Amino acid sequence: MNEIKTTQIKTPLRVPRLNDIMPSLMMILAARASALGVFPFGAAFFAASFDKSVAYVGIMAACAGILTSGGVEALPKYIIALTAYWLFIRIYRRRSEIICSAACGASVLLGGTIMLISDFNGLYDIFMLCTESLITALMYIVFKRSELMTEERSKRGGMSQEEYISAAISIGVFVSGLSGVGIGPISLTNVFAVYAVMVCALNSSVATAGCAGLCIGFMSALASSDAVIMMGVYGLSAVFACFMNSFGKPGCVIGYLSGTAVTLIYIRNIYDVPLSVIDAAVGAVLFLVTPSVVHEYFKSFFTRSLKVESVSPDLRMREYLTMRLRKTGESFSSLRECFVAVSEGRLRKYTDDVGVILDETADRVCKGCRMCGKCWQTDFRRTYKNVLGLIGMIETEGRLTEENIPEHFCEKCVRPGEFINEINHVYELYKRDVLRRADAVETRDLVAGQYGELNSLFTGMAGDIEDGFKFLEKEEEQIVDELDKNGIMPYEVSAIESTSGRCEVYLRLPPVIRRTAVEGIISEVMGRTFSYEETEGGLSKYVSKPDYTVDAAVLQLPQDGSEENGDSVTTFTVGGSEFYAVLADGMGSGSEARYESAAALRLLTSFLRAGFSVKTALGILNSAMCLNIGGETYSTVDIMRIDLYTGEAEFFKIGSAESVILCGDEVSVLSSSSAPVGILSDIRLGSKKMTLGEGDTVLMMTDGITEAGCTVSRTDWIKNLIIKPYGEMSELAKEVMDTALEKSRGIAKDDMSVAAVRLMGC
């Protein structure tokens, strides 16, 4: 339904101004244009685009145009029609396109009916009047849709297809208004028609330029019987010109003249065509000498470069999420700082405040003693020093007794036995309180560490949202074009590339489209192999295949006499772009060690699958294991991450056994010097990066393998195995396990686990 604008029209008449000259000239040209002996275009332009506050100027301009075209007899009809529409506008205060279009046609019908009363020749007159009224109503809509040409430059955006066609028809009408006007053998109608078609070809696509050429050609020759021929000439010439628009104005001219030459060659009697080579040449020269500033002005009608586009909803949402995540991370960071500050203050307070012991002991023993005033008032400094010495003896010897107490203290104190018992008791209470509070401080530090890791998590997520991907707008257009060439019309398309190199294309397609055909088209456009992944909510997802894949094998053997292996091993892929291999070795062997390693592996896997960075995941895991209530939980952790698009590998080793890497022809060994997770509240998280290629192999093992047959780690025999050729990684894993057992004389003295991974090209 067309929108109804409730803005009132300014009906009072005013004095003409300079900016009324151009609309008046356009009014004259529109009124001069004729079709089938009638002049419907002037009335349509007056109703659609002329300022009604100077309606009398428009009526006079229309009369001038009709008079100069030889339509003297029809002049009263159009004066009546224009006046009737102006009166209608004064009464009808709302603008509805359909109603105004009907009123425009009805005004011409009214004027023609009044004229038929005095001069009626038969039914043909009625038929022609109805046809003219219908044409006028339709042209009202055309002129209304092409008002883009007269809009304020700062408010103008790019043309839609509908506006473009309407503008081309309008240009054809104005050019047709130049019929009969020329300079010697040169027809201004043809010159400006050629010029307009070249402008369209320079700034639009082939289909759009061809359509514009057809419209301008047909409308410019509407007054003659050659309208269809001219439509073909201009349409084909526009297509040729558009093919050459990448070479600028000269290319358009060459293309247009070539198209004109081809069409004229195929017309049998070219002398009957109202287009001469001179007209085309003059139009081409005029096009070439037009200043670049003018062409830039024309270009503004075809592009949106002059329109200030609003920020896209996707960008606004990205900025909002980034801001919220960063602020949330800052909040957790502030909370962490508060916990750390409180912990440091409490530690200083309960470590340095030894006066608590003195006050409590004196209150229990010396209160009520007849010598209290002499000891704690008259001789305070000596008494205080002696008691501090006693506390020092307790700290060094563990307890104060009658045997180790200084004799000079017994000589001064009248209650030495009672004092010894109470100071030991108070000191014990004090130490317990300090230990309890120290545990609280340690727990508080661990919680602060958790908040710090959460801050890192939110900061990383904000970075991923802000910089983690980009939209491939150029590729989106190419995909649409290629799909269209293959008869596939997409309803929606979106192409995204992440920083890791993974590309995703989302398409909303008709349900009968073959996926393999779409995969081939997308792969050809993007220059890499794509495959269908899933369809959700009617949106099909196609993803780029990584450059590498992985052949991985895991083999485990429990310690002799144990039912369960205390090691936990897993391999998995995240997002189709990152491969992870994770080994966790719980302390000891059996079910208890299995529980520790499985818990660590489960937490790590969930964090990594959720998109956490390895360092953040390890930090949270370490804090969680340090906070374990009811017992100590330790586990080594060995992580390998491989980017399947680049081959870049990163290794994280926390108390784990050595890993052996075959990269090209070189064999290297990675080891760890840090403690297992769950022991220290602050662990060192270092990593080693290297780029792997096709065929490179990695062996990750627990100490049951590396220490097989000896008390220390030995990897020379593993280096000798990894350089051998193997068809599959399961063969390498089995040979490593068999050799380790052989070195242990067939007895597994510890849990044994090995993961063999080879990088392979897709």
Q: Model confidence over 696-734: pLDDT tens digits?
A: 999 999 888 888 877 556 788 999 999 998 989 999 999
For residue 207, what is the enclosing H or E element? helix 206-220
Using DSSP's 3-state secondary structure scheme, residue 554 falls into strand
pLDDT of residue 253: 86
Most confident by average pLDDT, 177-181, 455-459, 539-543:
539-543
Are the CB atoms for 518 and 483 separated by under 8 Å? yes
Q: Does residue 478 carry a pLDDT above 80?
A: yes
Give the lowest-confidence range in 74-78, 614-618, 629-633.
629-633
Q: Does residue 498 carry a pLDDT above 90?
A: no
- pLDDT (average), residues 566-584: 89
Residue entry with tokens 């995969």: 519
Distance from C-alpha of 115 to C-alpha of 110, rounded to nearest angstrom? 9
- pLDDT (average), residues 279-291: 85
Closest listed residue to residue 656, CA positions, set 743, 597, 740, 607: 597
Instruction: Specify the pTM.
Output: 0.49
pLDDT of residue 457: 64
Torsion of CA 735, 737, 743, 748, to 10 degrees: -160
Q: Does residue 306 carry a pLDDT above 70?
A: no
Give Cβ neighbours of residue 499 (< 8 Å, ≥ 6 apart).
467, 468, 469
Token pair listed for 345: 């203050």
Give the lowest-confidence range in 110-114, 429-433, 531-535, 583-587.
429-433
Q: Does residue 661 carry a pLDDT above 90?
A: yes
Are the CB atoms for 69 and 37 separated by under 8 Å? no
- pLDDT tens for 363-396 read 777 777 877 777 777 777 777 777 777 777 777 7
pLDDT of residue 698: 95
Distance from C-alpha of 716 to C-alpha of 623, rounded to nearest angstrom? 36
- pLDDT (average), residues 678-706: 83
Quick one: pLDDT band at residue 304, thresholds 50, 70, 90? very low
Q: Does residue 540 carry a pLDDT above 80?
A: yes
Are the CB atoms for 336 and 449 separated by under 8 Å? yes
- pLDDT (average), residues 550-568: 88
Token pair listed for 242: 């558009």
DSSP alpha helix (H) spans, 468-514? 473-485
- pLDDT (average), residues 200-229: 77
- pLDDT tens for 417-470 read 787 787 777 777 777 766 666 555 555 565 666 566 666 666 666 666 666 667
Q: Rounded to whole angstroms, what are the CA distances from 581 to 578, 695, 722?
A: 10, 17, 18
Percent of the chain with pLDDT over 90: 10
Give Cβ neighbours of residue 536 (< 8 Å, ≥ 6 apart).
none
Token pair listed for 280: 């085309």
Q: Does residue 140 carry a pLDDT above 90?
A: no
Give the lowest-confidence range in 86-100, 124-138, 218-232, 633-647.
218-232
pLDDT of residue 629: 42
- pLDDT (average), residues 239-258: 84
Average pLDDT of the residues of the chain = 77
pLDDT of residue 630: 43
Long-range contacts of 419-426 (CB under 8 A, 24+ apart): 419/361, 419/365, 419/366, 422/361, 422/364, 422/365, 423/357, 423/361, 423/365, 423/387, 423/390, 423/391, 423/394, 424/394, 424/399, 424/400, 426/357, 426/360, 426/361, 426/364
Give the lowest-confidence range in 56-60, 225-229, 351-355, 417-421.
351-355
Give the lowest-confidence range in 60-69, 445-454, 559-568.
445-454
Give Cβ neighbours of residue 219 (< 8 Å, ≥ 6 apart).
33, 169, 171, 172, 173, 175, 176
Distance from C-alpha of 72 to C-alpha of 68, rounded to nearest angstrom? 9
Q: Does residue 341 carry a pLDDT above 70?
A: no
Q: Does residue 628 carry a pLDDT above 70?
A: no
β-sheet bridge partners, residue 553: 756
pLDDT higher at 427 or 153: 427
- pLDDT (average), residues 624-653: 78
Give the lowest-confidence range in 167-171, 222-226, 650-654.
222-226
Q: Does residue 101 carry a pLDDT above 50?
A: yes
Most confident by average pLDDT, 221-235, 264-278, 443-457:
221-235
How many Cα atoms occupy the beta-carbon half-sphere of 243 within 13 Å?
Answer: 12
Token pair listed for 217: 């050609």
SS (H, E, C) 272-302: HCCCCHHHHHHHHHHHHHCCHHHHHHHHCCC
pLDDT of residue 274: 58
Q: Chain centroid to CA 16: how far?
A: 53
For residue 669, what is the enclosing H or E element? strand 666-670
pLDDT higher at 636 or 334: 636
Are the CB atoms for 214 and 235 separated by under 8 Å? yes
- pLDDT tens for 734-754 read 999 999 898 888 888 888 999
